[in-house]
Amino acid sequence: MTDYQEHPEEEKNENDEQEMYEHHRFVSDKGQGMLRIDKFLMARLENTSRNKIQNAAKAGNILVNDTPVKSNYKVKPLDVVSIVLAFPPREIELIPENIPINIHYEDEDILIVNKEAGMVVHPGHGNYTGTLVNALIYHFRDLPMQNNEPVKPGLVHRIDKNTSGILLIAKNELAQTRLAKTFFDRKIDRLYHAMVWGDLKEDEGTITGHIGRSLKNRQVMEVFPDGEHGKHAVTHYRVLERFGYVTLVECKLETGRTHQIRAHFRYIGHPLFNDETYGGDRILKGTTFTKYKQFVQNCFKVCPRHALHAKTLSFIHPATREQMSFNSELPDDMQQLIDKWRHYAKHKALEEDPEPADDTLGENPE
């Protein structure tokens, strides 16, 4: 990722770690001579090929004064130039691995995967093998070469290791570039199902608050309500089913920040069930009755990860321009978790001790 020093002619890269694109904005100076925009951008973007810039123009991802232009446009003095590019590849050797993956849909341009919980999306620190990308490279091994290179999975977003569900992959650079712009323009609908601690007061609501890395622990994301750190983040939710001490919710993302749903619900006092990072792996609501404690421990064993599933994804196809929508069933661990709580809620009046437990969340896990 290219980071820039701030100065009047340029804004910082606005990509987010969950959405795999980068956005750059430049203002040409007063003495700018007539220069093709692809050459103008080549001089300002590191590690970016001319072919990639031309693909961005073809996809409508290069704008001058908020209007899409072709790659032969001549830049003029004080033009405001912006470009959205697919995220650049990491400097990591990508090894094909024959790992089973659940392919939901595939055509010449895109692939939809229903990712299992526990699988890392992209190789990185501590996870150089066994990832979804390693599996996809193996899956693509028989496809025709592109630009004299094997086809590589084009990531445009990702979900956490222990989050299950729908993930969209581009199979060529043009599709990846167009989808990057789709995410940047927020023209994609994503619905998640999550189990959270507590009984939400409202049937639906919106959580707004900047999200950024915690100033105390870089592995954890924190909500900064005053916007002094992090990036703008919005999560809409509605209650699907109430079980007394936990609630099943549907979440619609307006933005795509790292750990957005997990951090936002921790911020409002309702961490995701069994979310170790954000304090949901303790009994936060309920009674002191021994049977209840054992019941919750059994629930932790049934769903041994944070209870979050990327259920649906809707977007415009990068090649056909048709509206597409995909839905995935809840995995067994979350379905069993819901069934257990549903049964418990139905019978809890007969099983519980009347003495309540401490409902406070305790210290911030960060």
Residue 192, phi then psi, degrees to nearest 5: -120, 150
Rounded-to-integer distance, Cα 345 and Cα 356, Å: 16
Supply the residues annotated as catalytic.
160
Spatial CB neighbours of 52, under 8 Å, sequence gap ≥ 6: 85, 86, 173, 177
Rounded-to-integer distance, Cα 364 and Cα 266, Å: 9
Rounded-to-integer distance, Cα 271 and Cα 278, Å: 6
Rg (CA), the chain: 23
User: CA of 57: how far to CAs of 64, 78, 188, 274, 287, in Å?
Assistant: 11, 20, 21, 45, 60
Buried b (16+ CB within 10 A) or exposed e, 174-206: bbbbbbbbbbbeeebebbbbbbbbbebeeeeee
- Going by C-alpha positions, the residue among 283, 236, 281, 284 that lies closest to residue 261 is 236
